[in-house]
Amino acid sequence: MLDLERCRRGNYFFGAKLVRGAYMVQESQRASKHGYKNPILPTIEDTHRNYDGIIDTLMDRAKEGQKLAFMVASHNENSIRHTARKMAEYNVAKDSNVVFFGQLLGMCDNVSFTLGDMGYAVYKYVPYGPIGEVMPYLIRRGEENSDVLSSSRKERSMIGKELLRRFMGA
């Protein structure tokens, strides 16, 4: 939030990609080693409140006229809905170049496609690089998003229903 305030005071453009994931073990060890407060929140509920609170702060600043843009890089449907509600409440147009959404390709594609279909700016990203670096990253994303992975059943069901509708004319 210090950077957000610094940008406001200096009349600079602020840009951010909001991510929920963390390297919990590494961050905790680093905080201990360097003598600062552990940045990992105690519960997942605290993490959700914090993430949505940052969205609220950025939306408030946008409403006040601060020059900014941010990406809600999340697979969490509640945070995505929260952001869309705030955009509507504050009359932030979907094509305003203030708010963007982003997800990992293959995760929450149904959410990404729905957002895109509704006119929101949505980006899918594909990690690439040496397999030894990419696989641990993807495993961490899977662990962090286990609730998303369990929703793949929901996504498969939706795809199945859509296929039936298209092929059977139902």
Strand partners, 18: 72
Is the pLDDT at 114 greater than 90, yes or no?
yes
pLDDT digits over 140-155, tens only?
Answer: 777 766 655 555 566 6
Q: What is the pLDDT of residue 159?
A: 66
Q: 14 vs 143, which has greater pLDDT?
A: 14
Strand partners, 123: 102
Round to whole Å and give the CA distance between 98 and 28.
32
Q: What is the pLDDT of residue 152?
A: 58
CA triple 67-73-77, angle to 5 deg:
115
Neighbours of 44 (CB within 10 A): 11
pTM for the complete prediction?
Answer: 0.79
Each as own residue / partner, the long-range contacts of residues 113-116 (CB below 8 Å, 24 or more positions apart, any chain) are: 115/80, 115/84
